[in-house]
Amino acid sequence: MSIEAGLLQTYAGQPAVVLRAPDGASAAVLLHGGQLVSWIPAGGGERLFLSERARYGAGASVRGGVPVIFPQFNERGPLPRHGFARNRPWQVVRAEAGVDDALAVLQLVDDEATRALWPHSFALELTVCIRGDRLDVELAVGNSGAEAFAFMAALHTYLRVAEVEAVRLSGLGGRRFEDFTAGRLRTDDEPALSVEAEVDRIYFNAPSPLELADGPRRLLIESVNFPDTVVWNPWQEKSAELADLAPSDFRRFLCVEAALIGAPASLEAGGHWWGRQTLIAG
Ligand code: TA6
């Protein structure tokens, strides 16, 4: 364990690693869930949405930032929705500011509680690196047991936007997706995705990069080894059912998630997998 003095702090009243790169970029990662909840690129403003009504504490799922989804996506299996990694306390392995970046590595390994839900030995490592206008979030999964296992995973990124109805997400036009709101596969021929109602889509084998235009702000969204992309906004009625969102909060975010859903990864004993989402602010 190597934690530079002063980086272990609190954020929103919760134990967190608070990173600051020499160029002024900053980020905060909660130990709970290994959840990145703030990213401010150098010279810019906050790029992640975190609900003011988010719930914290043992077992909670924090609404906002980048929840780590593992080993199950949504209700596509017998486990609690979106698995358990986001609900567990993680350990800090490393936190430091370098010459031109800042980096945190957090880890989650199996314990009695995870094995009661999912009978496998694993080690997850989340690496968050900030530098200038760029954020890299990398999730690594190791099989530390004697038997193979399969898993799904996602970085459920809540991107902060000024007004969701005004944003345009480019790169997915003409691609086939599973529309969770309609329960069927569809294609949308619009060159850029806009949000005027509930959106809950999984694009399998999605292209990368995507670009989010939010007024004058731009965000490039890249992913590596996460073949699928999820786009989610609950809109008014669904968000009214979510006690951890204020009534107009759905206007303040769009989730664009790097995901591994359609073809779950299989890891032999001793095997490793990793996937990364990169955001570049403009
Ligand atoms: O990623 C989209 C999704 O799977 C939606 O179906 C939606 O309900 C959302 O995740 C949030 O899930 P949560 O359990 O955090 O309320």
Sorted by where each starts, the structural domains of the chain and their CATH numbers stand as 2-281 (2.70.98.10)
CA of 20 to the centre of ligand 1 (A): 30
pLDDT digits (tens, 9 = 90+) for 177-187: 999 999 999 99
Please say if the pLDDT value at position 157 is more than 90: yes
Confidence of residue 142 (pLDDT cuts 50, 70, 90): very high
Tokens of 164: 């969701």
Ligand 1 contact, 86 CB (< 6 A): no
Strand partners, 158: 255
- Our measurement of the distance from residue 121's CA atom to the centroid of its chain's CA atoms, rounded to an integer in Å, reads 23
Strand partners, 64: 50
Residue 96 CB partners (closer than 8 Å, separation 6+): 2, 3, 4, 7, 102, 103
Distance CA 45, CA 60 (A): 27
Global pTM reads: 0.98
Confidence of residue 4 (pLDDT cuts 50, 70, 90): confident
The pLDDT score that the predictor gives to residue 2 is 86
Ligand 1 contact, 61 CB (< 6 A): yes
Distance CA 275, CA 191 (A): 27
Give the residue, out of 66, 84, 156, 261, with the most ligand 1 atoms within 8 A of its beta carbon, to mutate for a pocket test. 156
Distance CA 53, CA 193 (A): 28
pLDDT digits (tens, 9 = 90+) for 209-234: 999 999 999 999 999 999 999 999 99
The pLDDT score that the predictor gives to residue 113 is 97
Tokens 């980096």 locate to: 103
CA of 271 to the centre of ligand 1 (A): 29
Please say if the pLDDT value at position 127 is more than 80: yes
Cβ of 281: how many Cβ atoms within 10 Å? 20
Ligand 1 contact, 200 CB (< 6 A): yes
Confidence of residue 189 (pLDDT cuts 50, 70, 90): confident
Distance CA 36, CA 254 (A): 16
Closest residue CA from atom 14 of ligand 1: 81
Ligand 1 contact, 230 CB (< 6 A): yes
Mean local confidence (pLDDT), 165-172: 98
Tokens of 153: 């995973």
Please say if the pLDDT value at position 1 is more than 80: no
pLDDT digits (tens, 9 = 90+) for 54-70: 999 899 999 999 999 99
CA of 7 to the centre of ligand 1 (A): 31
Tokens of 179: 């529309």
CA of 30 to the centre of ligand 1 (A): 20
Give the residue, out of 37, 50, 70, 232, with the most ligand 1 atoms within 8 A of its beta carbon, to mutate for a pocket test. 232
Average pLDDT of the chain? 97
CA of 151 to the centre of ligand 1 (A): 18
Ligand 1 contact, 81 CB (< 6 A): yes
Cβ of 153: how many Cβ atoms within 10 Å? 26
The pLDDT score that the predictor gives to residue 188 is 87
CA of 44 to the centre of ligand 1 (A): 28
Ligand 1 contact, 235 CB (< 6 A): no
Ligand 1 contact, 156 CB (< 6 A): yes
The three-class DSSP label of residue 92 is strand
The pLDDT score that the predictor gives to residue 3 is 85
Closest residue CA from atom 10 of ligand 1: 74
> Would you say 169 and 231 are in contact if contact means Cβ atoms under 8 Å apart?
yes
Percent residues over pLDDT 90 in the chain? 96
Ligand 1 contact, 74 CB (< 6 A): yes
